[in-house]
Amino acid sequence: MRLATFNLLHGRSLSDGTVHAGRISAAIADLDADVLGLQEVDRAQPRSGNIDLTALAATALGARTHRFAAAVVGTPGERWEPWHSGADIAHPQYGIALVSRYPVRRWQITQLPAAPMRSPVYVPDGGLLLLRDEPRVLLAAVLETPDGEVSVGTTHLSFVPGWNVRQLRAAVRAMRALPAPRVLLGDLNMPAGPVRAFTGWKPLARAATFPAPSPKTQLDHVLVDPRGAAALGRVVQVRTPHAPVSDHRPLVVRFDRAASS
């Protein structure tokens, strides 16, 4: 089984700043993931050509199941508001997604509130800006794999130090309501050491993922709850390929149950 997480940067390429469906499809297909968590995902957004990035990723992987979970309605960096039930598929939305080659028995969505204060963030074209934090969301599913149930969640946490820890703990609590083994994929906006210290969950890969051209730090993680983790098998491969889109590298982890026996 291959699990992967990828912050898409709404499909934008750093080489020319454009969003091209062919590049996104090629990047996703190269991962060959059985389960893929995506962050910074657009739906019905003019800036990404109104491409349904979640459906595009599912097609690229030949995945039977996919789901998008919006965190905001509108466009980050422009006008937006927290997601609400009155937003339909015609409204521009932004959030996360989970794509699976396995059937899903159950979905779970957990809202993770935004930090209540503006925080300084360095923007390459704008310098240091005080930005309003966006609400976040955890999207989790109980998957029916050939080896039994596996619970997988994905999220994209706040850039605000401390607040992202609070969100991470809330995400872990929500995941523990699902059956083991449990895996959390995502851009957690913190390195592996604090992630393990604040959750007790085990990082399954130590590899720099950001910035994509020359990674220096790991913001993207695949975590497993130690309780029930043995059922997944042993990690036999970790990849961080340089994709033609995004400012993050995807993180791919392959398990082999036979290798652990």
Residue 46, C-beta contacts closer than 8 angstroms, at least 6 positions apart: 92
Q: Residue 117's pLDDT is what?
A: 81
Are 96 and 39 contacting, i.e. CB atoms less than 8 angstroms apart? yes
Query: pLDDT tens digit string along 141-193?
Result: 999 999 999 999 999 999 999 999 999 999 999 999 999 999 999 999 999 99
Dist CA 1 CA 146 (whole Å) = 10
Residue at token pair 């690229």: 60
Beta bridge partner(s), residue 7: 39
Query: pLDDT tens digit string along 188-205?
Result: 999 999 999 999 999 999
Dist CA 150 CA 42 (whole Å) = 27
**Of the candidates 246, 253, 249, 196, the residue with the CA atom closest to the CA atom of residue 222:** 253
Q: Can you read off the two tokens belonging to residue 54?
A: 């979640």
174: three-class secondary structure by DSSP = helix
Residue at token pair 């109104």: 50
Dist CA 19 CA 130 (whole Å) = 27
> In the chain, how many domains are there?
1
Question: In a structure prediction context, what are the per-residue pLDDT tens digits for the chain, which is 261 residues long?
Answer: 999 999 999 999 999 999 999 999 999 999 999 999 999 999 999 999 999 999 999 999 999 899 999 999 999 888 989 888 777 777 899 999 999 999 999 999 999 999 998 777 766 566 777 788 999 999 999 999 999 999 999 999 999 999 999 999 999 999 999 999 999 999 999 999 999 999 999 999 999 999 999 999 999 999 999 999 999 999 999 999 999 999 999 999 999 987 655
Domain of residue 91: give its range. 2-260
In angstroms, the Cα distances linking 251 to 13, 51, 119, 218, 240 are 18, 23, 27, 10, 5
First to last CA, the chain: 16
Please list, residue by residue across 242-261, b when 16 or more beta carbons sit within 10 angstroms of its beta carbon and e when fewer do. ebbbbbbbbbbbbbeeeeee
Q: Residue 122's pLDDT is what?
A: 65
Q: Residue 124's pLDDT is what?
A: 59
170: three-class secondary structure by DSSP = helix
Cβ atoms within 10 A of the Cβ of 85, count?
Answer: 5
What are the φ and ψ backbone dihedral angles of 129, each rounded to 5 degrees?
-125, 150
Q: Residue 193's pLDDT is what?
A: 93
226: domain CATH number? 3.60.10.10
